[in-house]
Amino acid sequence: MTNTSRPVVLIAEKLAPSVLDALGDGVEVRHVDGTDRAALLEAVQDADALLVRSATQVNAEVFAATRKLKVVARAGVGLDNVEVPAATQNGVMVVNAPTSNIVSAAEHAVALLLAVARQIPAAHETLQNHEWKRSKFNGVELNGKTVGVVGLGKIGQLFAQRIAAFGVNLIAYDPYVSAARAAQLGIELVSLEELLERSDAISIHLPKTPETKGLIGAEQLAKAKRGVIIVNAARGGLIDEEALAEAVKEGQVGGAGVDVFSTEPTTESPLFNVPGIVVTPHLGASTAEAQDRAGTDVAKSVALALAGEFVPDAVNVQGGAVGEEVRPYLPLVQKLGTVLSALSPKAPTSVTVEVRGELSNEDVAVLPLAALRGVFSKVVESQVTFVNAPQLAEDLGVSVEVVKETESPNHRSLVTVRAVAADGTTNSVSGTVSGIAQVEKLVNINGRNFDLRAEGTVLLLEYPDRPGVMGTVGTLLGEAGVNIEAAQISQTGDDAVMVLRVDRPVDTQVLDPIGASVGARTVRSVDFG
């Protein structure tokens, strides 16, 4: 029987069994063939999370078909099949598993290079055909040769480290890597032109971007050293496939190892059936280890995303990495924003997050996102996530600022969120995370000190002070079946603010008459969930 209350995780491609273990029983797993467009568009409507590898195209059309999608998880590295800006626009988090398969991909590039250099697949085929043709297969040694790496990122570096063991000279082209970093790795950074001229073998490890698409075409291949071996285990389309096939046939390129194609899946390519070209059907990440890691990494991220928590591997969330010290403050700061949205349910013109004390030594760039999620909770209909909060702020003309102050008079760390409305009205709420149990507390509302756990439902009343108000409020709540768990009053002169933590949500039909009976000018209910 289907349990519809559990979040639906839609798996659109074959993933390692470890992904199901890591997802656990808290979600309902459904399967669809992500390459069957109609089936995908229908299945994604009810999905909370979508898990893909590289064959499913997740674009604006998919996001338009979704109703409650919160996260797209790519069980691997490359995100060229996921339209990240469209995801961001829709408040959908995109996560990948950036290190899960990098060793496998680097090893595959090495395997392809050796397979081409020693013509292993072709030699294997002759024996399968009961032919013994030793003299046909004369290979080349790597020792003493120059190997050029195009794209010196995670996989490029792993490839370089591994191929270095063959006694090669390493050069690389990557305009975004410093010469110092390359030198540390024993690699000389050169221009693409120089790399083409000097390399006996070239391995490509670039992402596919508008800048890199077609980077190696007929012109570049013509400039390369005659007989060069070219390997591409990165992305199809980085090298012009027609041009590469022609260059191998003419002998300008000595051979090529290709794992990726401009269209995938494919059974037709100019690179097929060309002597000297070794092809594999996008197998770089196809190892037990890489698939296990990719599956468990994205399952963990999906669980965090569905719980509304910060996800370290999210690629479309501003704010960068979130430290251990900062993490407990994310839900608290969202709650401070929720109190502000209850006090003033219109979009403010500015939101300031003030961080005091020990926390001010940390990178707190993510805290404004949490504050905005709370502040916008009553302002916009659509879901407010870590992903789309900055875009919503921009669309609504809300300026956002973080202020840090090392001094914190009463708390080790204190965060205040202040919102200024269009008419200049300012509201502020402060909170802290207290003790080993990391209890989230509200400690100040509009300059008045309290000490109240930020959980459940909190009622706030501003009223002219007089004897008996607490009793009246308590009686009326009791008559409505609402139990008070904690109560605090801050009184100054004739004015008082009462905050109550109660055992259930209280709707306006109950709350408004209570406010009227004590002459309250403000009565609010804040639900922390």
Ligand X SMILES: O=C(O)CCC(=O)C(=O)O
Ligand Y SMILES: NC(=O)C1=CN([C@@H]2O[C@H](COP(=O)(O)OP(=O)(O)OC[C@H]3O[C@@H](n4cnc5c(N)ncnc54)[C@H](O)[C@@H]3O)[C@@H](O)[C@H]2O)C=CC1
Judged by CB under 6 A, does residue 177 bind ligand Y? Answer: yes
Distance CA 173, CA 313 (A): 27
Residue 53 binds which entry of ligand X, ligand Y, none, with Cβ cut-offs from 5 to 8 Å by kind? ligand X
Nearest Cα residue to 28 out of 46, 51, 2: 2
Residue 105 beta carbon to ligand X: minimum distance, rounded to whole angstroms:
7
Amino acid letter, 365? A
8 Å CB contact between 348 and 341:
no
Closer CB to ligand X, 284 or 331, in the complex: 284
> Rounded to the nearest 10 degrees, what angle do helices 102-117 and 120-128 cross at?
70
Q: Which stretch binds ligand Y (CB under 6 A): 97-105, 331-339, 415-423, 488-496?
A: 97-105
Which of 91, 148, 156, 257 contacts ligand Y by CB under 6 A?
156
156 sits near ligand X (criterion: CB under 6 A): no
Binding track, positions 276-315, relative to ligand X; x by CB under 6 A: --------xxx-----------------------------
Q: Per rule CB under 6 A, is residue 232 in the interface with ligand X?
A: no
Q: How far apart are CA 140 and CA 124, in angstroms?
A: 17
192 versus 476: smaller Cβ distance to ligand Y: 192
Q: Tell me the C-alpha distance between 487 and 503, whole Å.
A: 12
Nearer to ligand X, 16 or 514 (CB): 16
Residues forming a β-bridge with 459: 500, 525
- Look at residue 348 and give the partner it binds from ligand X, ligand Y, none, a contact being a CB closer than 5 to 8 Å depending on partner kind: none
Nearest approach in angstroms of CB 305 to ligand X is 19
What binding mask, one character per residue, do residues 64-103 give for ligand X by CB under 6 A, x or -?
A: ------------xxx----------------------x--
The answer to whether 428 contacts ligand X (rule: CB under 6 A) is no
CB-closest chain residue to ligand X: 76
Question: Of residues 182-221, which lie at the interface with ligand Y (CB under 6 A)?
Answer: 205-208, 211-212
Catalytic positions are: 235, 264, 282
Q: Which residues of 481-509 are buried (b: 16+ CB within 10 A; e: fewer)?
A: ebeeeeeebbeeeeebbbbbbbeeebeee
Is residue 53 near ligand X by the rule CB under 6 A? yes
| The Cα angle at residue 182 between residues 259 and 167, in degrees rounded to 5 | 65
How many residues contact ligand X, by CB under 6 A? 9
Structure token pair of residue 40: 């995908």
Of 297 and 440, which has the nearer Cβ to ligand Y? Answer: 297
- Stated as kind and residue range, the H or E segment containing 107 is helix 102-117
Nearer to ligand Y, 156 or 431 (CB): 156
* Smallest distance, ligand X to C-beta of residue 60, A: 21
Shortest distance, CB of residue 24 to ligand X, whole angstroms? Answer: 22
Which run of H or E residues covers position 461?
strand 457-464
Sign of CA dihedral 329, 330, 334, 340: positive
Q: Binders of ligand Y: how many residues, by CB under 6 A?
A: 31
Q: Does 233 bind ligand Y (CB under 6 A)?
A: yes
Let me know if 526 is exposed, middle or buried by CB neighbors in 10 A (0-12, 13-18, 19+).
buried
Coil/strand/helix, residue 48 = coil
Minimum distance, C-beta of residue 231 to ligand Y, in the bound complex (Å): 11
The torsion defined by the Cα of 342, 343, 348 and 351, in degrees rounded to 10, comes to: -90
Tokens coding 290: 């890489």
Write down the least CB distance from residue 255 to ligand Y, Å. Answer: 18
Between 209 and 425, CB nearer to ligand Y: 209
Q: Are strands 448-453 and 439-445 parallel, antiparallel or unpaired?
A: antiparallel
Q: Residue 82, interface with ligand Y (CB under 6 A)?
A: no
282 binds ligand Y per the rule CB under 6 A: yes
Q: Residue 155: which of ligand Y, ligand X, none does it interact with, CB under 5 to 8 A by kind?
A: ligand Y
Q: How far is the CB of 206 from ligand X (least distance, A)?
A: 12
Pairing of strands 484-492, 8-11: unpaired
What number of other Cβ atoms are within 10 A of residue 33's Cβ?
Answer: 14
Q: CA–CA separation, 282 vs 259, rounded Å?
A: 5
Residue 521: closest CA among 502, 489, 503, 495: 495
Return the number of the residue (291 or 432) whose C-beta is nearest ligand Y.
291
Measured torsion, CA atoms of residues 271, 273, 276, 282, in degrees rounded to the nearest 10: 50
Which is closer to ligand X, CB of 53 or CB of 198?
A: 53
Of 22, 44, 47, 54, the one binding ligand X (CB under 6 A) is 54
CB of 35 to ligand X, least distance (A): 13
- Check binding of 297 to ligand Y (CB under 6 A): no
Considering the complex, state which of residue 209 and residue 410 has its C-beta at the smaller distance from ligand X: 209
Residues found near ligand X in the complex (CB under 6 A): 53-54, 76-78, 101, 284-286
Residues found near ligand Y in the complex (CB under 6 A): 76-78, 101-102, 105, 151-156, 173-177, 205-208, 211-212, 233-235, 259-260, 282, 284-285
